[in-house]
């Protein structure tokens, strides 16, 4: 029996488990660990609350978890409650699917001023992540800038622009709903450093921004008129997606304002160069460099033209991408923020050889890109490597440790570990709380609330 530990219970981890458990050639047991008490990673703490369909992927994960050869240990942190060397003693293979747990920096003066935040923190806060419940965002601010034009920036801009009634129909964390009810935000800017054809957001996501109940959309026609290089790139491409993206944005630029309470403005070809402090020490404005595009290694990049403008904003969310963090005992590529690997096999950078028994999947393997479904192919690739290695290994290396040994070890170290059966109870509690509030779910957002719910139930 191949014994596998998966660290991280987001889609990257679950898709590895799925592939391992559905094949029949190699008998496998899978134990999944997560430092948080609840499973699903960014499906629970990243996907926007007003996008419930995306979250329905958890039904697939529930099915995987029903397999008797699968166990979930939530609230158990590898490196704290159990060490990597202990995992190595009890498992033949360990797969890290820990995602990209921090944010990228812009590297400009004033980036760390009060009222300048990583968008990832805001996302974790409104999604009820237990480590971010106590974050404070000054929503008395009237003008907010979201730097970046990826899908996370779209989520943040949309949540800031939605009405409390719209938000109340979602599973947004109660503390965030309450804070956003009192929001004074009137204007939201999304800032792209390149042009509309290079924007990272996907078409359905940006289209939604033109249909908001409480906010008009504003795009400057001159910023979505393509430069010759972008036009040539689109003309030469067989892919219609960027062409559609540009045409959605050009339509926005013609959309008359309907006098809604808020205004959401999408800007292109501008880069923040400095955040300016006001008398209270917090952000008062942002200096923006006007950009032009130039071609470098076959890619259109931005560079400053020398024209600077000042945008008065008093709250800033930096949404310029996530970044992986190193894991004790594993190599790490600082430049790309991932664990060096070959088809999911962790590779020693000094020798270029795989390190036996160690694997990666998801964002810590390939970087923070793609949608949830991207992890299925990615997880399948890693699981295939794991199975190939298991077949190649002699039977002697695949020992017969009694599964109750790990169970006793984990429970000894973390008596408050959360099993999948516990999660099923929490899930039912959250849904029933939601029902009584006319909402799809009311999340238990602190470790104490989870503990209390499990003890009571
Ligand atoms: P992303 O898609 O990589 O977008 C990052 C954005 O930040 C880009 O517009 C990038 O511009 C910009 N940027 C980077 N460095 C910058 C700088 N120094 N100054 C100004 N702008 C800068 O990242 P993300 O939005 O965090 O999303 C991560 C992944 O999750 C993506 O694959 C996304 O599609 C996915 N996601 C999907 C959904 C959904 O499906 N609804 C929702 C959320 C997230 P350049 O292009 O010029 O580098």
Residues of the chain with pLDDT under 50: none
Q: Which helix (H) or strand (E) holds 358?
A: strand 354-360
Residue bearing the CA closest to ligand 1, atom 1: 150
Tell me if 193 CB under 6 Å of ligand 1: yes
Tell me if 371 CB under 6 Å of ligand 1: yes
319 close to 341: Cβ distance less than 8 angstroms? no
Tell me if 223 CB under 6 Å of ligand 1: no
Cα(366) to centroid(ligand 1), Å: 15
Residue bearing the CA closest to ligand 1, atom 15: 320
Q: Which residues pair with 267 in a beta bridge?
A: 191
Cα(369) to centroid(ligand 1), Å: 8
Cα(5) to centroid(ligand 1), Å: 31
Instruction: Provide the token pair at 73.
Output: 């240990």
Residue bearing the CA closest to ligand 1, atom 42: 151
Give the pLDDT of residue 399: 59
Select from 127, 122, 246 the least CA-distant residue to 188: 122
Instruction: Provide the token pair at 116.
Output: 């300048």
Cα(363) to centroid(ligand 1), Å: 13
Give tens-digit pLDDT for 74-123.
999 999 999 999 999 999 999 999 999 999 999 999 999 999 999 999 99
Helix, strand or coil for residue 317? strand
Cα(152) to centroid(ligand 1), Å: 6
Residue bearing the CA closest to ligand 1, atom 26: 321
Virtual CA dihedral for 384, 389, 391, 392, nearest 10 degrees?
140
Give the pLDDT of residue 436: 93
Tell me if 196 CB under 6 Å of ligand 1: no
Tell me if 368 CB under 6 Å of ligand 1: yes
Cα(319) to centroid(ligand 1), Å: 7
Select from 371, 42, 372 the least CA-distant residue to 201: 371
Tell me if 366 CB under 6 Å of ligand 1: no
Cα(121) to centroid(ligand 1), Å: 15
Claim: this prediction has a pTM higher than 0.85: yes
Tell me if 442 CB under 6 Å of ligand 1: no
32 close to 73: Cβ distance less than 8 angstroms? yes
Give the pLDDT of residue 71: 98
Select from 324, 269, 266, 320 the least CA-distant residue to 117: 320
Give the pLDDT of residue 457: 65
What is the rounded distance in angstroms from the CA atom of residue 264 to the CA atom of residue 213? 12
Select from 101, 122, 100, 103 the least CA-distant residue to 111: 103
Select from 111, 107, 118, 41 the least CA-distant residue to 72: 41
Pairing of β 354-360 and β 345-347: antiparallel
Tell me if 145 CB under 6 Å of ligand 1: no
Tell me if 271 CB under 6 Å of ligand 1: yes
What is the rounded distance in angstroms from the CA atom of residue 147 to the CA atom of residue 141? 16
Using most ligand atoms within 8 A of CB, pick from 189, 321, 338 the residue to mutate for ligand 1: 321
Give the pLDDT of residue 249: 98
Instruction: Give the nearest ligand 1 atom to 108 CA.
Output: 18
Cα(154) to centroid(ligand 1), Å: 9
Round the CA-based radius of gyration of the chain to a whole number and report it.
Answer: 24
What is the rounded distance in angstroms from the CA atom of residue 152 to the CA atom of residue 154? 5
Q: Locate tokens 């109340």: which residue?
A: 168
Tell me if 148 CB under 6 Å of ligand 1: yes
What is the rounded distance in angstroms from the CA atom of residue 11 to the CA atom of residue 374? 9
């Amino acid at each position: 029996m191949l014994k596998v530990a998966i660290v991280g219970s987001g889609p990257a981890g679950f898709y590895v488990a799925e592939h391992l458990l559905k094949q029949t050639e190699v008998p496998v047991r899978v134990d999944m660990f997560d430092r948080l008490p609840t499973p699903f990673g960014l499906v629970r703490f990243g996907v926007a609350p007003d996008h419930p369909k995306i979250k329905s992927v958890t039904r697939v994960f529930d099915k995987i978890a029903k397999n008797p050869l699968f166990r979930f240990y939530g609230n158990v942190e590898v490196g704290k409650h159990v060490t990597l060397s202990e995992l190595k003693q009890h498992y033949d293979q360990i797969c890290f699917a820990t995602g990209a747990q921090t944010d990228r920096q812009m590297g400009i003066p004033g980036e760390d001023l009060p009222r300048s935040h990583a968008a990832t923190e805001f996302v974790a806060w409104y999604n009820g992540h237990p480590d971010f419940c106590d974050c404070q965002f000054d929503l008395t601010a009237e003008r907010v800038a979201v730097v970046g034009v990826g899908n996370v920036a779209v989520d943040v801009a949309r949540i800031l622009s939605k009405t409390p009634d719209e938000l109340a129909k979602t599973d947004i964390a109660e503390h965030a709903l309450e804070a956003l009810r009192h929001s004074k935000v009137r204007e939201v800017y999304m800032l792209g450093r390149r042009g509309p054809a290079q924007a990272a957001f996907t078409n359905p996501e940006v289209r939604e921004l033109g249909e908001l109940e409480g906010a008009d959309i504003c795009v400057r026609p001159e910023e979505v008129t393509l430069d010759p290089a972008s036009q040539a790139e689109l003309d030469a491409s067989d892919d219609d997606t960027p062409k559609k993206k540009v045409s959605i944005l050009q339509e926005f630029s013609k959309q008359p304002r309907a006098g809604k309470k808020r205004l959401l403005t999408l800007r292109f070809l501008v880069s923040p160069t400095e955040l300016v402090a006001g008398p209270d020490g917090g952000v008062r404005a942002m200096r923006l460099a006007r950009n032009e595009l130039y071609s470098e290694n076959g890619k259109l990049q931005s560079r400053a033209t020398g024209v600077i403008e000042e945008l008065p904003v008093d709250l800033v969310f930096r949404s310029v991408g996530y970044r992986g963090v190193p894991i004790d005992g594993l190599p790490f590529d600082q430049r790309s923020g991932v664990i060096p690997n070959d088809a999911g096999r962790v590779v020693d950078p000094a020798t270029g050889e795989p390190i036996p028994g160690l694997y990666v999947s998801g964002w810590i393997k390939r970087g923070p890109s793609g949608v949830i479904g991207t992890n299925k192919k990615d997880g399948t690739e890693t699981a295939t490597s794991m199975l190939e290695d298991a077949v190649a290994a002699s039977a002697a290396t695949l020992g017969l440790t009694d599964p109750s040994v790990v169970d006793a070890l984990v429970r000894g170290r973390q008596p408050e570990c959360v099993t999948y059966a516990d999660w099923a109870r929490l899930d039912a509690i959250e849904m029933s709380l939601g029902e009584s509030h006319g909402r799809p779910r009311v999340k238990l957002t602190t470790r104490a609330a989870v503990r209390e719910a499990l003890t009571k139930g």
